[in-house]
Amino acid sequence: MQILGETIIGQRAVRGQGGEVFALAAATGEELSPAFGASTPDDVNTACELAEASFDPYRQLSDEQRAAFLEAIAQGLLDLGDTLTERVHVESGLPKPRLEGERMRTVNQLKLFASLLRDGRWHGAVVDTALPDRQPLPRADLRLRRIGLGPVAVFGASNFPLAFSVAGGDTASALAAGCPVIVKAHPAHLGTSELVARVIQKAARDTGMPEGVFSMLIDKDISVGQALVSHPLISAVGFTGSRRGGLALVAAAQARPVPIPVYAEMSSINPVFLLPAALSARGESIAKGFVESLVLGAGQFCTNPGILLALESDALETFVSAAATALADKSPTTMLTPNIHGAYCNGLNNLHKASGVTLVAEGREAEGSFQARPAFFRTDSATFLANPGLEDENFGPSALLIVCKDTADLQKVAAKFDGQLTVTLHFDDGDQAIAQALMPTLERKAGRILFNDFPTGVEVSYSMVHGGPFPATSDSRSTSVGATAIDRFLRPVCYQSVPDSLLPPALQHSNPLKTWRLVNGQLVKD
Ligand code: NAP
Domain at 216, CATH number: 3.40.605.10
pLDDT at 1: 81
Identify the residue whose C-alpha is closest to ligand 1 atom 25: 158
- Identify whether residues 233 and 314 lie together within a single domain: no
Q: DSSP secondary-structure letter at 377?
A: E
Residues 70-108 have pLDDT tens digits of 999 999 999 999 999 999 999 999 999 999 999 999 999
Instruction: Report the separation in Å between the CA atom of 481 and the middle of ligand 1, taken as the mean of its atom positions.
Output: 19
- Identify whether residues 239 and 351 lie together within a single domain: no
Residues 457-502 have pLDDT tens digits of 899 999 999 999 999 999 999 999 999 999 999 999 999 999 999 9
In a domain, 245, yes or no: yes
- Identify whether residues 282 and 259 lie together within a single domain: no
pLDDT at 227: 98
- Identify whether residues 355 and 378 lie together within a single domain: yes
In a domain, 137, yes or no: yes
pLDDT at 367: 84
Residues 197-252 have pLDDT tens digits of 999 999 999 999 999 999 999 999 999 999 999 999 999 999 999 999 999 999 99
| Secondary structure of 8-72 in HEC code, one letter for each residue | EECCEEECCCCCEEEEECCCCCCEEEEEEECCCHHHHHHHHHHHHHHHHHHHCCCHHHHHHHHHH
- Identify whether residues 218 and 160 lie together within a single domain: yes
Decide whether any atom of ligand 1 lies within 6 Å of the 223 Cβ: no
In a domain, 250, yes or no: yes
- Identify whether residues 259 and 304 lie together within a single domain: no
Decide whether any atom of ligand 1 lies within 6 Å of the 4 Cβ: no
- Identify whether residues 251 and 304 lie together within a single domain: no
Instruction: Report the separation in Å between the CA atom of 413 and the middle of ligand 1, taken as the mean of its atom positions.
Output: 29
- Identify whether residues 277 and 255 lie together within a single domain: no
pLDDT at 173: 98
Evaluate whether 243 touches 262 at the Cβ level (below 8 Å): no
- Identify whether residues 230 and 336 lie together within a single domain: no
- Identify whether residues 185 and 329 lie together within a single domain: no
> Within the chain, which residues score under 50 in pLDDT?
none
In a domain, 94, yes or no: yes
Evaluate whether 424 touches 305 at the Cβ level (below 8 Å): yes
pLDDT at 154: 98
Name, in order, each residue with C-beta under 8 angstroms of 30's C-beta and a sequence gap of 6 or more: 24
Please indicate whether residue 179 is annotated as part of the active site: no
- Identify whether residues 350 and 406 lie together within a single domain: yes
Decide whether any atom of ligand 1 lies within 6 Å of the 225 Cβ: yes
What CATH number is given to the structural domain containing 405?
3.40.309.10
Identify the residue whose C-alpha is closest to ligand 1 atom 34: 395
In a domain, 522, yes or no: no
Identify the residue whose C-alpha is closest to ligand 1 atom 8: 186
Count of structural domains within the chain: 2
| Distance between start and end Cα atoms, the chain | 47
- Identify whether residues 413 and 484 lie together within a single domain: no
In a domain, 224, yes or no: yes
Instruction: Report the separation in Å between the CA atom of 505 and the middle of ligand 1, taken as the mean of its atom positions.
Output: 41
Decide whether any atom of ligand 1 lies within 6 Å of the 409 Cβ: no
Peptide bond connecting 34 to the previous residue in cis, omega within 30 degrees of 0: yes
In a domain, 520, yes or no: no
Domain range for residue 389?
272-451
In a domain, 277, yes or no: yes
Please indicate whether residue 302 is annotated as part of the active site: yes
Evaluate whether 91 touches 191 at the Cβ level (below 8 Å): yes
